[in-house]
């Protein structure tokens, strides 16, 4: 997807502060952090949102989640707590139409979310 900003980050056409990368995914700091730790984790394969992930690609999701847990451990927030957010489609507030998990932590979270 040439016009997708997250695909541009994957292809190194846009700079990002990359924390982790392998053949299936990339994790990088959010450009507008909402917490002391705010990392985005995305698959290299372009899917607009959770709604478009086919059943046979469900391993993509577990890979991203386990890596989010590892990054939380590395950042020292695993024990304190962290939040993983997956905005999906319009009413959730999803802005970038390339599926991404937000890993947020390093401060007290509140509930309910806005
Ligand atoms: P959404 O609202 O779609 O769930 O979240 C999109 C996130 O992507 C936002 O937190 C926003 O700050 C982040 N973002 C948007 N454009 C860029 C960019 O070019 N680079 C990085 N690192 N983050 C971005
Ligand atoms: Zn994309």
**Of 27 and 2, which is predicted with more confidence?**
27
Domain that holds residue 72: 5-105
3-state secondary structure string across 28-65: EECCCCCCCEEEEEEECCCCCCHHHCCHHHCHHHHHHH
Question: Has residue 2 got a pLDDT over 90?
Answer: no
Residue 114: inside a domain: no
23-80 tens-digit pLDDT = 999 999 999 999 999 999 999 999 999 999 999 999 999 999 999 999 999 999 999 9
Ligand 1 near 93 CB (within 6 A): yes
Rounded Cα distance, 111 and 91, in Å = 18
* Cβ of residue 55 lying under 6 Å from some atom of ligand 1: no
Active site residue 100: yes
pLDDT at 12: 97
Q: Is the CB of 82 under 6 A from ligand 1?
A: no
- Specify the CATH number for the domain of residue 35: 3.30.428.10
44 in any annotated domain: yes
Q: What is the mean pLDDT of residues 10-33?
A: 98
Cβ contact 41:64 at 8 Å: yes
Asked if residue 77 belongs to a domain, the reply is: yes
pLDDT band at 1 (very low <50, low <70, confident <90, very high): low
* Residue 113, in any domain of the structure: no
Domain assignment present for residue 110? The answer is: no
If one counts the domains in the chain, the total is 1
Confidence (pLDDT) at 36: 98
**Taking the CA atoms of the chain, what radius of gyration do you get in angstroms?**
14
């Amino acid at each position: 997807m040439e016009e997708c900003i997250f695909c541009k980050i994957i292809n190194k056409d846009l700079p990002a502060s990359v924390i982790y990368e392998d053949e299936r995914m990339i994790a990088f700091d959010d450009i507008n952090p909402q917490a002391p730790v705010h990392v985005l984790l995305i698959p290299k394969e372009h899917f607009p949102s959770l709604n478009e992930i086919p059943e046979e690609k469900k391993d993509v999701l577990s890979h991203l989640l386990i890596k989010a847990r590892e990054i939380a451990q590395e950042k020292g927030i695993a024990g304190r707590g962290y939040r993983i957010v997956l905005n999906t489609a319009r009413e959730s507030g999803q802005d970038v139409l390339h599926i991404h998990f937000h890993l947020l932590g390093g401060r007290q979270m509140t509930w309910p979310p806005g």
